Structure 1
Amino acid sequence: MTKVSREVETLGGVDHALGEEYEHEPVPMSARRTTFSVTTVWIGFPMIITGAMTGSILVLGMGFRNALTAMIIGNVIMFAYVGALGVLGTRRGTNFALLASIVFGKKGYVFASGLLSTLLLGWYAVQTGITGALISSAYNLNYVAMTIIAGLLYIGITFVGVRGLHLIGLISVPLFVVLGGWVMLDAASKTTWDAIIAYPGNNGQATMTMGVGLTVVLALFIDAGTVSADFNRWAKDTRSSVIATFSAFPLANLLAMLIGGITTAALAVPNANPFGADNMFGYMNGKQMAFLSFLAFVFLYCNLGSVCAHCLYNSATGWSRIFGSRMRLFAVLLGAIGIVVAAGNVWAFFIEWLSLLGILVPPIGAIILVDQYVFRKNAEIDRDWRPSAFVAWTFGSLVALVVEFYAPHLSTAISAAVAGGAAYALLCLLPSPARAAA
């Protein structure tokens, strides 16, 4: 028996023990999970300290009232977008890569799935690096060691599969609700709710427009939200799929943002740094209570472990489909790459590039929605390439670039999605010969 054969056989045994992940085929109804299970997978994804940091950034840049408006509108849009894509995954039982194969082609899907899988690996590395940085600065521990421990823990969770995402959600969500709620209420007790609502922004100035605010809300999970079929394919029916998505957007994501935003407005720290010490983790450690510091330590690893495991799961699912391999094998390989990036302390350099590349994502989801809900509801994988999808994707991304650099007051993410979806619809409405060529 060859070495490759032995590895495949070993992975087959692991899949049998932990459960199949169905990288290359639809999830059968017999393997679908309960509504509660799929909900815990989703709710544990956005209910994270990074979401609270984002809420703080919005409040600092927009003032509390405008930030709250952006949070609500943005999360409603995310619910509609992610929910609709998730339902497609539920109905077909397929992951994002298989769904994209229908729209972009049997070979063309590699570009869409590969982009998203790479972006999500990048975010896994960034979140792992944030874990190490916060732990290192708060407890004066070795950064590299703390980052490697975090990365290995997150790989372990991902390796278990969708069941691992379910279990980490059961731990991280209650911790976040209890500790985040306490931080928010304790901070709010130092002022009045009227003062919090009237908070004008950092140093009394609002510098962020509503369009930018919406982009910030959407960009936080637009990558993972686009590949929602990876999670929702496990739901038994449409109702379960929608409930699970709602638990994430708007419920969990909005709650996380509100905890960060209210805390920031209540404390009104000049030139606050949410990605430094001015967040709920820093607030707990600032109390200088041993028990609370211990809780903060456990909380951070569990909480960021949830988002990292989700991102790595999406990335490994996508790349395993592309290479015809197993999700668990790629979870280990890609997780190791992410650890190297994070431990090398270069993760911060990737944030701007990941955000910029994120403008390429909204057209992908919009094109799939227009294709599957309007023009080709029961379509199957029927060709290697579908040029019309790529033309629309390119157009949507070009519009996003124009908005990003020349109309920054508008929402880049919304502009990209609308432009890409509209372009694809127009191409589908072309006369039959032209449409066939596309």
Structure 2
Amino acid sequence: MSSLRHWFAEDTASSDEYYSRPVPLHKRLGFKDPALIWTGFAIAYICAVIGGTIQTGLGMPNAIYAILLGNFTLFIYSSLLAYISGKWGLNFPLMVKAVFGAKGAIVPTLILAFLVTGWYAFQTWLTADILRAAFDLQQTAGLVAITILIGIVYAMPTVFGVKSMSKYMQIALPGMIIFALYYLFVKVVPAGSDILSRPGSGEMAFMTGVALTWSTFVVSGTMTGDIVRYTRSGTQAVGVTAVAFLLANSVFMLLGAFISAAINNPEVEYFFDSSSIFVVLPLVIVAFLSNGSTCDACLYNATMGFTNSFRNLTWRSAAVFGMTIGLIAAATGLIGNIVNFLILLGLLVPPIGGAIIADYYFIKQGRYFEPDEGLPFNWAAIVSVIAGVISGYYVNVAYPNFLFGVAGIAVTFAAYLILYSWFGSGSNRQQAVKSERDQETRAATVER
């Protein structure tokens, strides 16, 4: 029992994942490991499934255009946040504190922590549902038990930190490459050039397809600092983000669209168009590896938020807390409707990122970025985000052919700059002139 207490109480530099302070430069991992983690995060079975859903609704080639536009927009947005994290070594909760204030940051941090826990729950539920579809299982207590076991296995890399996640990816990535090659040469290539003109159902608007692409990673794209802060510079962080969205996620979503067009049967679940055990079993294994590499990264984001919101939680106890919530949601099927969940993400999350971008690049002009404990609430940022969420909801209802997440960012961005110019942040410290010596001291602090 004493060893178990020690396991939960452990809070050393190696186990706390720098959740309450910047990652010093000598502890950064460089480009490779963060890029590998983000690759495993973005090359997920669900991304291929969503790509197939977009193709079913839009047909070809509109599905291709929607996926590319959604991922490019997501890359631009996430890169602006990633650069800040890579330069200053800050995770997402610390960035939120630097903008919203020490107390004002709690609500937005918790909102994203619970939303990304929802992604962890969905991926766990999805894996169990893939097993159901593959082997014609019934919804019984046994399947619930399997769901819980899967979620526990998926959580282990997060519990033991970012290096364990990188090692897991070295196992999972080859399996996902085999999955891609199998469908490419067995289904897509034989279908020929006709695949590029496959019609869809016509039940999806083009911008809805873009929004589904965008929303798939808008939460973790906003929280990208939790991963890219381990790079050695802002430029490296942007490079990792390019790998995540312009390469990994775009390619896998496009693959899903091509597979869907090649199968050309909307009744087929999860691409299982064959009942042969020699096809089904390898695909189940790949789905398990793929979803696991996404699950651990989602839970990692959530754990970072929980540790910064609840001061008494250590890294490992916060990971177990998030895992427990996610397992309850997954086992009950609470989060099984992916489309509604993606719309919710697109409404709530982008305005928070918009406030951070406005604050760093236009208010602070890139000179400094650190939590100010003397600033409990930055009401200019808080009110701006509320305005962004409301405007995003209005655009989603009134103009379904417009990307409402971008509207939320734009309104938050403009509102924050206006409100800040009128009222400031409420902190004398942020109004003070920053001397060159102050900047050198902060840079040295990050590098220590």
TM-score exceeds 0.5: yes
Alpha-carbon displacement from aligned partner over 1:86-132 (angstroms, at most 9, x marks no partner): 11111111111111001000100011111000101111111111111
- In the alignment, the residues of structure 2 paired with residue 345 and residue 332 of structure 1 have an alpha-carbon distance, to the nearest angstrom, of 20
Q: Cα offset for 1:264? A: 1.1
Q: Which moved more, 1:294-303 or 1:42-51?
A: 294-303
- Asked whether the equivalents of residues 123 and 295 of structure 2 are also in contact (C-alpha less than 8 Å), the reply is yes
Match of 1:179 in 2: 179
Q: Cα offset for 1:394? A: 1.0
Match of 1:10 in 2: 7
- In the alignment, the residues of structure 2 paired with residue 145 and residue 20 of structure 1 have an alpha-carbon distance, to the nearest angstrom, of 30
- In the alignment, the residues of structure 2 paired with residue 258 and residue 436 of structure 1 have an alpha-carbon distance, to the nearest angstrom, of 43
Alpha-carbon displacement from aligned partner over 1:240-288 (angstroms, at most 9, x marks no partner): 212211111111111111111001112221xx15xxx4334x24xx250
Aligned residues: 418
Residue 435, structure 1, aligned to residue 424, structure 2: yes
**CA shift in 2, pair 1:397/1:123, >3 Å:** same
- Asked whether the equivalents of residues 119 and 354 of structure 1 are also in contact (C-alpha less than 8 Å), the reply is no
Q: Cα offset for 1:190? A: 3.9
Partner AA of 2:153 in structure 1: L
Q: Cα offset for 1:6? A: 8.0
Match of 2:270 in 1: 279
Q: Which moved more, 1:109-118 or 1:259-268?
A: 259-268
**Residue from 322, 329, 335 that aligns with 2:309:** 322
Match of 2:155 in 1: 155
Match of 2:76 in 1: 80
Residue 258, structure 1, aligned to residue 247, structure 2: no
- In the alignment, the residues of structure 2 paired with residue 13 and residue 395 of structure 1 have an alpha-carbon distance, to the nearest angstrom, of 41
Q: Which moved more, 1:346-355 or 1:119-128?
A: 346-355
**CA shift in 2, pair 1:186/1:354, >3 Å:** closer
**Residue from 321, 336, 355 that aligns with 2:343:** 355
Match of 1:168 in 2: 168
Match of 1:96 in 2: 92
Match of 2:230 in 1: 234
Q: Which moved more, 1:109-118 or 1:155-164?
A: 155-164
- In the alignment, the residues of structure 1 paired with residue 338 and residue 114 of structure 2 have an alpha-carbon distance, to the nearest angstrom, of 12
Q: Cα offset for 1:437? A: 5.4
Partner AA of 1:415 in structure 2: A
Match of 2:319 in 1: 331
Residue 199, structure 1, aligned to residue 198, structure 2: yes
Match of 2:353 in 1: 365
Partner AA of 1:435 in structure 2: G
- In the alignment, the residues of structure 1 paired with residue 369 and residue 91 of structure 2 have an alpha-carbon distance, to the nearest angstrom, of 16
- Asked whether the equivalents of residues 120 and 295 of structure 2 are also in contact (C-alpha less than 8 Å), the reply is yes
Unaligned runs of 5+ in 1: none
- In the alignment, the residues of structure 2 paired with residue 396 and residue 185 of structure 1 have an alpha-carbon distance, to the nearest angstrom, of 45
Q: Cα offset for 1:47? A: 0.4
Partner AA of 1:406 in structure 2: A
Q: Cα offset for 1:11? A: 4.0
Alpha-carbon displacement from aligned partner over 1:28-57 (angstroms, at most 9, x marks no partner): 112111311111011111101110111111
**CA shift in 2, pair 1:353/1:192, >3 Å:** closer
Calculate the TM-score normalised by the size of structure 2. 0.88
Match of 2:407 in 1: 415
Residue 400, structure 1, aligned to residue 399, structure 2: no
Q: Cα offset for 1:425? A: 2.1
- In the alignment, the residues of structure 1 paired with residue 90 and residue 37 of structure 2 have an alpha-carbon distance, to the nearest angstrom, of 17
Secondary structure at the counterpart of residue 61 of structure 2 = helix
- Asked whether the equivalents of residues 44 and 168 of structure 1 are also in contact (C-alpha less than 8 Å), the reply is no
Alignment of 1:15-30 (within 5 A): 19-30=15-26
- In the alignment, the residues of structure 2 paired with residue 246 and residue 98 of structure 1 have an alpha-carbon distance, to the nearest angstrom, of 23
**Residue from 31, 42, 47 that aligns with 2:43:** 47
Q: CA RMSD in A?
A: 2.2
Match of 1:310 in 2: 297
- In the alignment, the residues of structure 1 paired with residue 110 and residue 68 of structure 2 have an alpha-carbon distance, to the nearest angstrom, of 31
Q: Cα offset for 1:25? A: 0.7
- In the alignment, the residues of structure 1 paired with residue 55 and residue 68 of structure 2 have an alpha-carbon distance, to the nearest angstrom, of 13
- Asked whether the equivalents of residues 127 and 304 of structure 1 are also in contact (C-alpha less than 8 Å), the reply is yes
Secondary structure at the counterpart of residue 191 of structure 1 = helix
- Asked whether the equivalents of residues 130 and 270 of structure 2 are also in contact (C-alpha less than 8 Å), the reply is no
Q: Cα offset for 1:214? A: 1.6
**CA shift in 2, pair 1:233/1:61, >3 Å:** same
Q: Cα offset for 1:19? A: 4.5
Match of 1:36 in 2: 32
